[in-house]
Chains A and B, each alone.
Chain A
Amino acid sequence: MTGAKQSVDDLALFGGPVTFGAPRSIGSLADPDPEKVLEYSRIFYDRHWYTNNGPVNQMLEARLAEWHQTERCVTFASAFWGISLAIRHLALPGRTEVVTPSLTYRRMGEIIASAGMIPRYCDVDPDTLAQTAETTAPCITEETALVLGAHPTVNCCDAAGLERLAAQSGIPLLFDSVESAFETVGGRRVGTFGRAEAFSIHATKLINGFEGGYIVTDDHELAGSLALMRGFGIRSEDEVVSFGINAKLNEVHAAMALASLDGLPDLVERNRARYVAYRDRLDGLPGIVPREFDPAEQTSFKNVLVRLDDDWPFSRDDTLAILQAEGALARPYYSPALHEHKTEFETRFSHLPIAERVSRQFVLLPCGDQMGLGDIDVLVDLLHFMVDNARPIADELARMGGLEIHTGYDPVAVNPAKA
């Protein structure tokens, strides 16, 4: 890491030294204890059972079901395919649309399309950044096969409100709870809402299982169907009983996930310290407003989300360009909104003003285990430097052609693993 910036020329975007030599991302990227990974690996290794619902996967499923206080857990090669298969099972027959917020995971439309359905995007609430029963209800029509609720990255949506809507309308409710694995809503554990809830164990998520995902539910029939569909629909050696694909979680990933679960309490404490440091240090910086975690709920403190207000002297995109050039891989929050994506598959939506506004206003700051407390000081100092030198930086940006200078800049190309 290089020293503090003295002049505008010291910004990496303008040719100065990069602040974070090893880029800092918005992913959790928590390192599990290697001894634990090896201990769990020994279980499958000794039995020569490397995938196909192996012994470590079975341990992981039991543990996750208990953790979420649900009857069942079914793991997958990724949350993408887990949700896709759950949509196939839960969608009301003969109907074509799945309602989901426009402000969520950038591949949610693809997940819905991969299940042969059409996404219908709903708006979000300006205060919670989440869909509510009120923003969802107008999208429910004769074509609605499923509501796919999604929690935002900080705090949760009103899951109970969506449950009531589902009960009234008779539409099945599935949750994408990828960002909320640790949370409670009204004291009730995330995982227990709707017909089922889906989670990711991608390395950037709270539980690092390399790649993977899981669905928890109290519905034994659903769990049984998902377990079949992830393994080609094969029930016994010579018997295929349903449609299926390969979406099985392998044992190496399961071992990694179990080791990560062992380290979770410590990780949440480290996340809390990071969150508190950010919140305290950002206090007093004009125009950057952190989203606060609800102190009444259990939370992982994983994501650091801030709103850039009019007081902040740079556009959101210029801010990102400056930070990313320094190796601080801040990312725009769910931007563009899903209904603004150009896709080859069909999407449906009406006017979604809140999603559009929020998608232009918010930024996720680097978090997770690659972001030490000292790094947070350095990053906030950099933000102060930007405020203190706003005019010359703006001049330099303008001289270099404003946005033109960074449209070709791709943090993914700089560090694909950690973006």
Chain B
Amino acid sequence: MKTSATEFSILGGSREFHTELPVGQLYFPAWERYEQAMRGIIERRYYTNHGPLVKELEARLEDFLHVRNAVTVSNATIGLYLVELGLGLKGRIMMPSFSFIATAQAAVLAGLDVTFCDVDPSTHQVTPATADRAVEAGVSAICPVNLWGGSTDIGALTDWANDHEVALFFDSAHGFGVETRAGKLGTFGRAEVFSFHATKVLSATEGGCICTEDDDLAERIRNMRSNYGIRRPLQVPLTVNARMSEGQAAVAIAGLDELGERIAHNRAVFDAYRSAVSGLPGIRLLEPSNTTWSNYQSAVLQVSEDEYGMSRNSLWSVLRAEGVLARRYFKPGIHRSVPFEERYPQYLNHLPTTDQLCDTVMQLPIGSLVTSDDAGRIGQLVVGAHQHADALRAHAG
């Protein structure tokens, strides 16, 4: 624990962590498990095109999520794109600007216009109220994002979509394993898309999965994903390459076996953060919203500059200097990024909560490379930085 300002690395003190701690889950199977999987694949001589491991993974995902169709894909961005084409969407799609940029890029790839909505300042999620404020003529679908290991209010958004007669599907990239009062994420809306990127709790290094209760939609998507793994041939807008390989599936299957342990570890890390920063003025550790069970994908810290004594950016600089690779997702908001800023200037200064969150939120390390002890020490850095805010602020900008 640093007891004076000069002990902070940014003021010349020694670094708290000599090995930098990243944001992002970065779980991977034990080497022996990986080695066994790779040898098995090479012995089977079956590398891709809907092989036995992909089939096994899809079956296990359907079983785990209690969903009729789990269609694995090469990554979640292409997954969102396939859902949009599969639903035959036209015109505008509504989504939060407070999301990873891929949510909107998929829509561009699908030839759609984007309507950005704001999010709730407390949960960071899309709500019927934020959707109401943004809805406009031509919106044919809404894609709320289940953010941070929390969830949107699924029931309320389902009602909203029904009332407005628009298609509802979810970007659940962060949400694998998350449970809500209505059940696990994966079965809601017309479809949900999970990410199995290395930074997610279930990793295929790259990868993703489209889940839907709609067998016809699933079959359309299978036909667009590849020629392989289809159950009946259909005329679809186009068939791309969105296949998951046997190598990716092997990593994900091992991850499913470990999922309980991974989430338990994340939870312990999250609890350590909570204990450390609880009651600290101007600091809020975001609790997963609308869930009965979170995967603790993210440890999100919100900084109120006036009460805490320094800005989010200053605290971020202090932590980075200590070897804590905190991230400032989503800075800037999608509506302030290329090409959306130029294409949709109407959203500049019209998404106040998004702009505010982009300036005040950061993610702390959580996942396989972070221990509870690390989280406690990071929490102590946040506490110490508050105590020495005046001295640190001058150097942290």
Q: Give residues in A with beta carbon < 8 Å to B.
A: 29, 31-32, 34, 37-38, 41-42, 45, 48, 50-52, 77-81, 107, 110, 113-114, 116, 202-203, 208, 210-211, 232-234, 237-238, 240-246, 248, 250-253, 256, 342-345, 370, 412, 416-419
**Inter-chain contact B205/A241, CB cutoff 8 Å:** no
**Inter-chain contact B75/A232, CB cutoff 8 Å:** no
Closest residue of chain A to B77 (Cβ to Cβ) is A246
Beyond contacts A38-B38, A238-B332, A240-B337: 5 other A-B pairs, Cβ-Cβ < 8 A, are A29-B47, A45-B28, A241-B338, A252-B247, A344-B237
**Can you give 14 contacting A-B residue pairs, CB < 8 Å?**
A42-B31, A50-B203, A80-B241, A110-B238, A110-B239, A232-B100, A233-B101, A240-B101, A240-B332, A240-B337, A241-B338, A246-B102, A250-B248, A342-B235
A232-B235 in contact given A252-B205, A419-B49 (Cβ < 8 Å): no
- B18 within 8 A of partner (CB): no
Min CB gap A128→B, angstroms: 27
The 3 nearest A-B residue pairs measured at CB:
A203-B47, A210-B245, A250-B205
**Inter-chain contact B34/A250, CB cutoff 8 Å:** no
**Inter-chain contact B75/A113, CB cutoff 8 Å:** no
Closest residue of chain B to A252 (Cβ to Cβ) is B247
Complex: how many Å from CA A248 to CA B76? Answer: 12
B101 contact set on A, CB distance < 8 A: 232-234, 240, 244
**Inter-chain contact B240/A245, CB cutoff 8 Å:** no
**Inter-chain contact A34/B78, CB cutoff 8 Å:** no
Complex: how many Å from CA A417 to CA B205? Answer: 21
B368 contact set on A, CB distance < 8 A: 48
Min CB gap A26→B, angstroms: 13
A51 contact set on B, CB distance < 8 A: 197-198, 205-206
Min CB gap A384→B, angstroms: 29
Complex: how many Å from CA A241 to CA B205? Answer: 24
8 Å CB contact of A416 from B34, B38, B228, B237: B228
Complex: how many Å from CA A38 to CA B32? Answer: 11
**Inter-chain contact B105/A245, CB cutoff 8 Å:** yes
Closest residue of chain B to A110 (Cβ to Cβ) is B238
**Inter-chain contact A253/B247, CB cutoff 8 Å:** yes
Min CB gap B94→A, angstroms: 20
**Inter-chain contact B338/A242, CB cutoff 8 Å:** yes
Closest residue of chain A to B325 (Cβ to Cβ) is A237
Select the residue from A50, A52, A114 with max chain B CB neighbours within 10 A.
A50
**Inter-chain contact A41/B34, CB cutoff 8 Å:** yes
Total interface residues in chain B, CB < 8 Å: 61
A240 contact set on B, CB distance < 8 A: 101, 332, 337-338
- B215 within 8 A of partner (CB): no
- B304 within 8 A of partner (CB): no
Min CB gap A407→B, angstroms: 12
Complex: how many Å from CA A419 to CA B35? Answer: 27
Min CB gap B56→A, angstroms: 14
B42 contact set on A, CB distance < 8 A: 31-32, 34, 37
A242 contact set on B, CB distance < 8 A: 338
- B347 within 8 A of partner (CB): no
B235 contact set on A, CB distance < 8 A: 342, 344
8 Å CB contact of A417 from B35, B50, B81, B106: B50
Complex: how many Å from CA A343 to CA B240? Answer: 13
8 Å CB contact of B50 from A246, A248, A416: A416
A31 contact set on B, CB distance < 8 A: 42, 45
Select the residue from B100, B227, B331, B337 with max chain A CB neighbours within 10 A.
B337
Min CB gap B360→A, angstroms: 14
B337 contact set on A, CB distance < 8 A: 240
